[in-house]
Structure 1
């Protein structure tokens, strides 16, 4: 098998994209005995298709997705390899949450005060940008639209930019992404203020094709853990403390978050 791998989810800057590729290079070296014993190869790639298509490739050895697609479009179609544990507030044990940020000029200090303002979110299939924000708004909305308007931006960085451009007032940003933004893209952090945080959920999972055999999943998990243990400077740049071996059932809580919003009469962000 000619396997492929890519880690696309936290490539916040070109330097971070380089570091995520370096992580895969380390993993590749550690996997060589397993690959050579099978007569297999591994290519580290930039996905040329949509991520939804890439994640479903039969020759996918390793990638990262969001927990929302994992329990929706990808359910039963990929394998869970591991969950990264980040050295960011709210990420203990492989959890994460979203930071609620508002345009400073909007003058709000809580989500409740955002009624009638404009919201931005990255994608409809994002747990951090949509599902967790919907969950936070649902108890406040009373089954009615909460925002004056909602705009889809295509990414967390784009959501921050529309706040700075005065095209929206409030957004939910993955806390790991926001930590990288504050470190590396400070201009996107200026002009916004943190007004709270969402509930926690299992972090963005590392996945593999169903074609990867059990010994391959085990080899991947060991290679990832060894890389972080041995290359501490790389781990620090990526804010990685390690990887958690979480059961797939943990991710069902993301569906519970969705179901709770629906039961509250708030099935879509509005």
Structure 2
């Protein structure tokens, strides 16, 4: 019976990407088993591409060997107090700078044709957002909009889509006019499905923030957390073509305090009276 669970769910934008992340995680687990101080077998780990149910309970599992979360739940929803911060990926994508990333501000072709070629010009339009607990789709977007909002409002409506891919589909179909998309997700989707962007235009970028952190249960000791960091580096080097397709260049070892920037962005919006994306 498996004793641990592992997942890398945040950038599984296509089945091919999901398979590559699964492969990288499998190599990481194998290397970790080789160097771990405790008796550990790769067969003790169940690797899942898409955890069942809500992600927060998954990230809080005591048997979580490795996963990836968003900076917003890590900093704002209490995960930082419950998990090891293992590392932060470094991606080769427009909008990334080392382990930092931005969100692309995107509009539908119809909105673009109507003159919505700046964020200011999107006032009164229909927004789409992947989720209220997303830094890239909500918090960074809210931070960019806060100076432009009046009486705590900017949009006519906000559609909750459930994912960045669904936000892009809403824009392409005309169900929404504007949204914010994680720049890594955007680059990976452009690589795989460029035709799906025919009805979408990019009008800018949000401020940058630390990227999506890799985490592990604190049931692991500090030495095992370090072994996981080393195993991730080894898995990256094991298959350069896999890394290229994933646009993955490396892993940075940030401190948890680096993610205070995400809270600072939320506070800056609140201080301007823009506490919700609306």
Normalised by the length of structure 2, the TM-score is 0.94
Residue 34 (structure 1) shift:
4.1
Pair 2,36 (structure 1): closer, same or farther in 2 beyond 3 Å: farther
The answer as to 2:28 corresponding to 1:20 is: no
Corresponding residue number in structure 1 for 2:47: 44
Q: Distance in 2 between matches of 1:264 and 1:165?
A: 33
Corresponding residue number in structure 1 for 2:8: 7
Q: Answer yes or no: is the 8 Å Cα contact 1:138–1:261 preserved in 2.
A: yes
Matched position secondary structure for 1:90:
coil
Q: Answer yes or no: is the 8 Å Cα contact 2:36–2:227 preserved in 1.
A: no
Residue 39 (structure 1) shift:
4.5
The answer as to 2:272 corresponding to 1:264 is: yes
Q: Distance in 2 between matches of 1:149 and 1:247?
A: 37
**Which of 115, 130, 146 does residue 123 from structure 2 map onto?**
115
Matched position secondary structure for 1:75:
helix
Structure 2: tracts of 5 or more residues without a match: none
Larger mean Cα displacement after TM superposition, 56-65 or 157-166? 157-166
The answer as to 2:113 corresponding to 1:91 is: no
The answer as to 2:194 corresponding to 1:193 is: no
Matched position secondary structure for 1:224:
helix
Residue 250 (structure 1) shift:
0.3
Corresponding residue number in structure 1 for 2:180: 172
What CA RMSD, in Å, does the superposition of the two structures yield over aligned residues? 1.4
Residue 216 (structure 1) shift:
1.0
Q: Distance in 1 between matches of 2:34 and 2:185?
A: 34
Q: Distance in 1 between matches of 2:87 and 2:80?
A: 16
Q: Answer yes or no: is the 8 Å Cα contact 2:80–2:256 preserved in 1.
A: no
Q: Answer yes or no: is the 8 Å Cα contact 1:142–1:264 preserved in 2.
A: no
Corresponding residue number in structure 2 for 1:207: 215
Residue 212 (structure 1) shift:
1.1
* Aligned length in residues: 270
Corresponding residue number in structure 1 for 2:241: 233
Corresponding residue number in structure 2 for 1:221: 229
Residue 35 (structure 1) shift:
5.1
Q: Distance in 1 between matches of 2:274 and 2:151?
A: 5
The answer as to 2:57 corresponding to 1:53 is: yes
